[in-house]
Amino acid sequence: MHKLEYKLKHGNPYPPGCNPTVGGVNFSIFSRHATAVELFLFDSSDSEHPFQIIQLRKEKNRTFFSWHVFVKDLPIGTWYSWRMDGPYEPRQSGLRFDKEKKLLDPWARAVSHKRWNRAAACVPGDNCQVAMRAAVVDLDYDWEGDTSLRISSEKAIVYELHVGGFTRHPSAHVKYPGTFAGLIEKIPYLKELGISHVELLPVMAFDEQDVPQHTAELGLKNYWGYSTHSFFSPHPGFCVTPEQATHIHEFRDLVKALHKAGIGVILDVVFNHTSEAGSSGPIINFKGISGDMFYHLDEFDKSIFHDYTGCGNTVNANHPLVANFIISCLEYWVREMHVDGFRFDLASALARGEQGEVLHNPPVLWGIELSEQLAKTKLIAEAWDAAGLYQVGSFPGYRWGEWNGRYRDIVRRFIRGDKGLIQELATRVCGSSDLYEPHGRLPISSINFVTCHDGFTLHDLLSYNHKHNEANGENSQDGCNNNLSYNCGFEGETQDPAILALRRKQAKNALAILLLSQGVPMLLAGDEFLNSQHGNNNGYCQDNELSWLDWNLAKHNADMVNFVQNMIALRKRHPSIMRRHFLTGKPSGERQLPDISWHWSNADEVPCWDDPGARLLRYTLVGVDIHEADLHIVMNMDHEPVMITLPTMKGRYWCLAVDTSLPPPRDIVHPKDQKRAHKSSYQVAGRSVVVFENH
């Protein structure tokens, strides 16, 4: 316990947050309307009482709207929080100052939620004993020469995973389950799989208690992490030493280790809303500091939060100070944490102006795109919000990739057997030129996926016609109803060998189509070994074995893992699948052959694109140079087989590379083991994908 108080200086308004420097620590926080500000210093994250309370004086510790103080000789590892007084007039101005509430620093680099009680922050009164706290952090770290990776987008293969759920299951056999350190232990698996990037579900500090009351009463908590409160801090729940200020280095250790393995890091970030929810939600930081500025409020009654996110509030992202906060945060994660890109949850909410209107040129989005520090990072938008704004193909900017929901839907419909889709399917597997080419964008603008964290896993997509979310405590009213799934003849688990075989083949079909498509493929972690959530398509609150990856399945379904590994390898050896520019169908290159040719069952026949019963898509991709093998690809989702004739390629012969209808290991064959096709015809089984390579 400190016996003497630390001496003070006025401090500086910049940079914001808590910044150690020579001789002490500078604290700075923005609040335009605060009338009194106090800084509380604690020995540890769970100290019952502060060892020093510093009262800032307006005439000495305020510059414009920043409050600041310099604490001499304050050591690294000290914990702190703020307290502010000011107007409480929610209806008139949106201000909600509570002079008894302890507030987190919005710029905190490390936070603890050990004593956190969300309910206490939702009602008036002192919550010192149960408030979150921030730590004074030393940003020095030995990166050992590490820098952000520069993997070109056309070569990217993204793997979406949840840091906790990836290793929490006992079958993961890691020393520190559910942590950044646990994920490091699984890097050899990721490298062997062949992916280029991990896309981590939210790792910025989030509120695990942010779930509906009836869900909390079931003992459930916020699992996915789309409830951020501290955008500069790694989530302490993913750290081995969450109560030590050095826990931020655990995330850096992960990034450094992934980079050494040649794998980039993309963060799923949630700037559309925060964990403070609506008018009845907790005061954590922004509400108690500048709630009138940070959120979209009703023009006539500012106690009402406009909700374009379905989470109670919407960040007022295009307010100049908020936009600066967001861009500074992203730059911090690139500069200090070496991440390689970001996927923006409900990104279209960031395209709304201060009155909620849709902006043609949103300042925050253009600021992100034009930031010099972010120039080499991946930017991916979930190009819609919860209020109906849908911008797939029209998201503001040029450098952004987009989660292509239209790709997902057409592939799901095609593999379940819907008819008459081949024209749109052809457009989607070729990079969705209808969406992106008119705006000067590229195939890499399309982030292709069939499944993601939000919805069915691939196994469940092929095992359930309906969602089964009873465990969430909402009478299965939550989660998407339009899953475009097909249970292959039985709802849920079965021992029927015919149904199991069909599901397995359909899983291979979906993964093959995804990895053969132009654009950037994204796989959901666990799909490669048929991980299941037993029909739950909204596992946001299921931090348990329902959502955790069962690594026993990786052994049980080793043939599926092998199939995905080899499909990824096939993609990597074919630049013709990873084109940066759209296919034209025109002769080009040394061989003067069309880059793509479309076929019907006979190689010389042109597809009947408007055939309402068509379930066959077939085409030839020519190598980008004379050294690359050509590909002949057949996707037959009809129940019946089809006999095809192979196209003639002068000086080359075809070899079967993939046939999802064949048992492993014949379902996918490495080039050195491929055999020449001596017949000019081949029977493609019903509901299967076939690929030929030539030599």
Angle between helices 558-572 and 497-516 (to 10 degrees): 20
Distances (CA, A) of 486 to 290, 366, 463, 470, 536: 49, 41, 7, 20, 15
483-495 average pLDDT score: 97
Q: Is residue 301 part of a domain?
A: no
Neighbours of 635 (CB within 10 A): 27
- Distance separating alpha carbons of residues 587 and 579, to the nearest angstrom: 16
- Would you say 167 and 178 are in contact if contact means Cβ atoms under 8 Å apart? yes
Residue 379 lies in a domain: no
Q: Is the pLDDT of residue 415 over 90?
A: yes
> Residue 287: pLDDT band by 50, 70, 90 thresholds?
very high
Band of residue 604 on the pLDDT scale cut at 50, 70, 90? confident
Q: How many helices (H) and strands (E) does the chain have?
A: 17, 31
* Preceding amide of 124 cis, omega within 30: no
Q: What is the CATH number of the domain that holds 68?
A: 2.60.40.10
CA–centroid distance for 372 within its chain: 23
Which residues neighbour 125 within 8 Å (Cβ) at sequence distance 6 or greater? 100
Q: Is residue 370 part of a domain?
A: no
Residue 347 forms part of a structural domain: no
For residues 685 and 509, is the Cβ–Cβ distance under 8 A?
Answer: no
Write down the pLDDT at residue 678: 87
Which residues are catalytic, by number?
A: 345, 382
- Amino acid letter at 324? N
- Structural domain tally of the chain? 2
Residue 256's pLDDT band, with cuts at 50, 70 and 90, is very high
In the chain, the largest separation of any two C-alpha atoms, in whole Å, equals 90
Gap between the Cα atoms of 335 and 289, Å rounded: 27
pLDDT band at 134 (very low <50, low <70, confident <90, very high): very high
* 488 falls within a domain: no
d(CA 582, CA 625): 16
What's the pLDDT score for residue 233?
A: 98
Domain end point (choices 101, 135, 169): 135
Mean pLDDT of the chain: 96
The arithmetic mean of pLDDT across residues 448-459, rounded, is 98
* Per-residue pLDDT tens over the stretch 101-120: 999 999 999 999 999 999 99
Domain limit, last residue, from 108, 135, 162: 135
**Calpha distance 79→219 (Å, rounded):** 29
Instruction: Say what the pLDDT of residue 1 is.
Output: 52
**pLDDT score for 601:** 81
In 3-state terms, what secondary structure has residue 200?
Answer: strand
CB atoms within 10 A of CB 390: 12
- In which band, very low, low, confident or very high, does the pLDDT at 603 lie, cut at 50, 70 and 90? confident
Q: With 60 as the cut, is the pLDDT of residue 624 above it?
A: yes
CA–CA gap between residue 26 and residue 369 (Å, rounded): 31
- First-residue to last-residue Cα distance in the chain: 76
pLDDT > 90 in the chain, percent? 96
| Residue 98 is assigned to a structural domain of this protein | yes
Q: How confident is the model at residue 307 (pLDDT cuts 50, 70, 90)?
A: very high
Q: Residue 673's domain is classified under what CATH number?
A: 2.60.40.1180
Phi, psi dihedrals of residue 256, rounded to the nearest 5°: -60, -40
- Region 293-322 average pLDDT: 97
Q: What pLDDT score was predicted for residue 590?
A: 87
pLDDT at 196: 98
Q: 59 φ, ψ to 5°?
A: -75, -20
- For residue 2, the model assigns a pLDDT of 60
* pLDDT over threshold 80, residue 3: no
pLDDT digits (tens, 9 = 90+) for 153-181: 999 999 999 999 999 999 999 999 999 99
Contact 695, 655 (CB under 8 A): yes
Residue (of 409, 541, 421, 425) closest to 482 by Cα position: 409
Nearest CA among 163, 191, 198 for reference residue 177: 163
Range of the domain at 687: 582-694
495: confidence class by pLDDT, cuts 50, 70, 90 = very high
Sign of torsion over alpha carbons 323, 329, 335, 339: negative
Q: Would you say residue 27 lies in a domain?
A: yes
List, for residues 59-74, the tens digit of each pLDDT value.
Answer: 999 999 999 999 999 9
Residue 594 lies in a domain: yes
Asked whether the beta carbons of 55 and 35 are under 8 A apart, the reply is no
Contact call for residues 473 and 217 (beta carbons, < 8 A):
yes
Question: Quick one: pLDDT at residue 654?
Answer: 97
- And the tokens for 364? 């925050």
What percent of the chain lies above the pLDDT cut of 70? Answer: 100
Which of 92, 40, 84, 42 lies closest to 66, judged by CA? 84
Angle between helix 405-415 and helix 422-429 axes, rounded to 10 deg: 130
Reference 103, options 168, 161, 31, 154; nearest CA is 31
CB neighbourhood size of 383 (10 A): 25
Select from 135, 150, 176 the last residue of a domain.
135
Burial of 191 (0-12, 13-18, 19+ CB in 10 A): middle
User: What is each CA distance from 501 to 98, 158, 463, 567, 662, in whole angstroms?
Assistant: 61, 27, 12, 19, 11
Would you give the DSSP letter of residue 224? S
> What pLDDT sits at residue 416?
97
What is the pTM (predicted TM-score) of this model?
Answer: 0.97
